[in-house]
Amino acid sequence: MFRLNEIRTYLTSPETRERGREKVKQLLKASESPSGFAAIAAIGLGLILLLNTGDGDTPETPQALSVPQTAAAQHEGDMAADDTTAATAPIAERPAQKARAKTYKLKRNETLLTLLDRAGISNKDAHKAVNALKDVTNLRRLQRGQEVRIIPAAHVPGRLQELRLRDSFQEEAILELDSDNYVASRATVPTLPLTHLVEGEITDSLYLSAQRAGLPTPVIVELIRLMSFDVDFEREIRTGDRFQVYFERDYAPTFGDIDEGRILHMKLELQKRTLEATYFEDEDGRGDYFDSNGHSTRKTLMKTPLDVTVVTSNYGKRKHPVLGYTRLHAGVDFRAWTGTPIMAAGDGIVERANRYGSYGNYIRIRHNGTYKTAYAHLSRFGKGIKSGARVKQGQIIGYSGATGRVNGPHLHYEVLVNGKQTNPLTLKLPTGKTLKGEQLAAFQEKQNVVVADISKIILQQQFMLTTQTAANDPDATARANGLANMGDR
């Protein structure tokens, strides 16, 4: 969750005051946390109103943060601000002249050494810099598009003054000139913990509808994985169903980008029932998702081991599309583009992963003494998937395709119970852990807080809409102040 003191410090820092409008606008787009929003309101309504005047580019409703393609503009803005300060300060107080920073992108088949050469750094200094950096980062893992921020020495041609290389979201490698040597170190990238809410209506598949609503791909994948224990995608997902996802994310103000985190709460409103789950950690730090009664949403097997838009054939007898005669279709087909990742329906050991007659590329997993699952017509197997390999539930084991006797790309999925083929869509599976006593009470308290936060977020969205016209409508300002007070806890 957003921590009040961190927001207050961030909003009142010299850096934020220097570029307050853009930074706070990014912050509001990145998060809808009630406590974080209240912190912004506490700094002053005028700062919020500032965001809705001028260029008029504020969206009508809060959107997911738009992540810049590069950090170059940000860094150049930093240096421009430094130059302005130096030009207006008295001569005696001016800082030592510093060359302007420039951000370079690693090109295809380019190394850091050749990038430094392109940046005008001498061969001698480039080699010394690379050798120093090897101690703090793996330069072999650098990929095309990697950004490298370089500051050359102001008065020595070919000399490097400073280099920054962000090799993960949380950290960056730093190289600095110290006398005639280069000193390499690592630094943590400052981040702010946020939360964000995305909700919407299903118009085709859950994946595509969530994507259009602005839910980030990693969160969509996790949502589908968690819902796959209970959802019959063939018969339950319908146009008009709704979804709601409340999740964590980290925001890096220096770079203006975000890293998606854990789902805190999710809800799927279907025509006949509503599925809802909240994340909860016990006293030992073990976390899982539970429904309102404290039952774990995790089951022995997933009903659907991939995201589906249409189930192309029901379990039972059908006319085989290639052979042309009626035969028992022992399983269910999920239509999916070639290359769609297929997940293991549960923990287990791979019994076979090979070409298997009309099934084409085929995987069978033994989960326990009762259950086995089979996956057919795969285009290829996942990394390390072979007979005897252990797999975890949700692990990618292969990719959908059209191998074997088929008339189009899809996944054929079977569940075997005590060796007998069973309809996977109607199979009743035992639930996992059930919370009781003090654990159940703690969970329900946590769930109540999360649900209350989501309710406050709805008010915050109304607040944002109201403040768009507040500059020209005094009554709107009063309404916005009222909503802000309701959002503080």
Q: What is the pLDDT of residues 327-375, one digit of tens each?
A: 445 678 887 788 888 999 999 999 999 999 999 999 999 999 999 999 9
Which value, in Å, is the radius of gyration of the alpha carbons in the chain? 28
Q: Closest Cα partner for 374 from 399, 392, 347, 353?
A: 353
0.75 exceeded by pTM: no
Instruction: Read off the pLDDT band of 475 (50, 70, 90).
Output: low
Q: Please, which residues have CB within 8 angstroms of residue 281's CB and are 6 or more apart in sequence? A: 287
% residues pLDDT > 90 (the chain): 49
- Helix, coil or strand: residue 140: helix
Question: Is beta strand 348-355 parallel, antiparallel or unpaired with respect to 361-366?
Answer: antiparallel
CA 400 – CA 411 distance, rounded (Å) = 6
Q: Which neighbouring-strand residues pair with 279?
A: 289
CA 130 – CA 139 distance, rounded (Å) = 8
CA 19 – CA 84 distance, rounded (Å) = 13
Q: Is 334 exposed, middle or buried (0-12, 13-18, 19+ CB in 10 A)?
A: buried
Q: Give the chain's length.
A: 489
Contact 42, 8 (CB under 8 A): yes
Contact 333, 309 (CB under 8 A): no
How many C-beta neighbours within 10 Å does residue 245 have?
23
CA 452 – CA 410 distance, rounded (Å) = 42
Phi, psi of 280 (to 5 degrees): -150, 135
Phi, psi of 164 (to 5 degrees): -130, 130
Contact 152, 159 (CB under 8 A): yes
CA 340 – CA 343 distance, rounded (Å) = 10
What mean pLDDT comes out for the span 431-451? 92
Q: Is the pLDDT of residue 476 over 70?
A: no
Instruction: Read off the pLDDT band of 176 (50, 70, 90).
Output: very high
Instruction: Read off the pLDDT band of 474 (50, 70, 90).
Output: low
Domains of the chain, earliest start first: 1-52+193-298+435-489 (3.10.450.350), 72-165 (3.10.450.350), 311-422 (2.70.70.10)
CA 345 – CA 359 distance, rounded (Å) = 18
CA 341 – CA 349 distance, rounded (Å) = 19
Contact 405, 321 (CB under 8 A): no
Q: Tell which wins on pLDDT, 228 or 402.
A: 402
Could you read off the pLDDT of 241-257 as tens digits, one per residue? 999 999 999 999 988 89
